[in-house]
Amino acid sequence: MSHAITRRIEDLEKLSPPLTARPDIDEYWDRTLRQFSDKPLNAKRTLVVTPYAYMEAYKVSYEGFDETPIHGWYLLPKFRKEGTELPCVVLYHGYSGSKGYPEEYASYLMMGVAVFAIDVRGQAGETGNGMAQDFGMTKGWITQGILHRDTCYYRAVTIDALKALDWASEQPEVDASRICAAGGSQGGGLAMIAAALSDKPAIAVPHIPNMCHMDFGILNSNSSLSEAAAFIERFPESLETVIETLSYYDNMNLAHRIRIPIFVTVGLKDPVTMPETIYAAYNRVESEKTIVPYPFSGHVVTADHNRKATEFIAKHFRLG
């Protein structure tokens, strides 16, 4: 039976806007990944005391894009068998958020899964931002260095996200063949770009991902891309330059590089990470993929989103 909701989903499933990728996007990323592959993590992990008897919690710092220490929580269930290697979920938070408190990740520990949850640089966590800046910004963080692909904030947070996967894969408690990149909104965008650019994750869970079809998003959404829109309003001559910079970090343009199973969620009433942007990227993924549309959800990751995602993780990591 066809009705407005099914027709809306059918239309989204057919969405295939033109790519904004420049011809050298793959060459650019291959070169960039080589450039950062040998950069040392200079990581430290320190055991901390929490009120949670069955959680082993470590404060971690490591270096990603530059010398800025990126802070994270590395969490292990205390009830694991000695010598057992655990799957690990590497988690990225939403825009203007932080890694939060260890107990926010208890559901993963209850599955017998390790967690590495990191701050995104400069936002509301304990992590600063040592990036150089040679031009003005408009509110927030997105427009830092936005006039060039090599200087922009997206480059820094992308490399930080990839290096988090590298760190997790090196931990003695982690089974490096069972790593999941996950997050919501900004974090979903980072999980998706990590799936495209890193060989470390075996699966990815991008909830309501940002960083998709960004030329549409900058025009229509009220996401963090509205900061880029404000920048162009202030500097109208920068329009093509900004669109070009964003094109290198757009999951729509990088979807062809995803070779692992991914589980994506989307809210059809989401004005932030709009369904048109998410489907534009998702429809171009060629690997095993699942998308769950929520017709009446806005910009939110609900309990049902999380339950379906944990079922996906449990299935692929052979848990339970």
Question: Residues forming the annotated binding site?
Answer: 95
Written as six digits, the tokens of 277 are 């942007």
Task: Please report which helix (H) or strand (E) contains residue 47, including its range.
Answer: strand 44-48
- DSSP string across 282-306: HTT--SSEEEEEETT--S---HHHH
- DSSP string across 171-212: -TTEEEEEEEEEEETHHHHHHHHHHHH-SS-SEEEEES-SSS
Whether 185 sits among the annotated catalytic residues: the reply is yes
List residues forming the annotated binding site for substrate.
Answer: 95
Please classify residue 8 by burial: count the beta carbons closer than 10 Å to its beta carbon, then call 0-12 exposed, 13-18 middle and 19+ buried.
middle
Q: Which of 119, 166, 250, 270 is catalytic?
A: 270
Q: How far apart are the first and last CA of the chain?
A: 37
CA distance 120 to 144: 14
| Tokens 């869970």, residue located | 205
CA distance 58 to 114: 11
| Tokens 């430290």, residue located | 44
Q: Which of 71, 166, 169, 185 is catalytic?
A: 185
Which positions ≥6 away from 106 have C-beta within 8 Å? 52, 55
Whether 71 sits among the annotated catalytic residues: the reply is no
The residues carrying an active-site annotation are 185, 270, 299
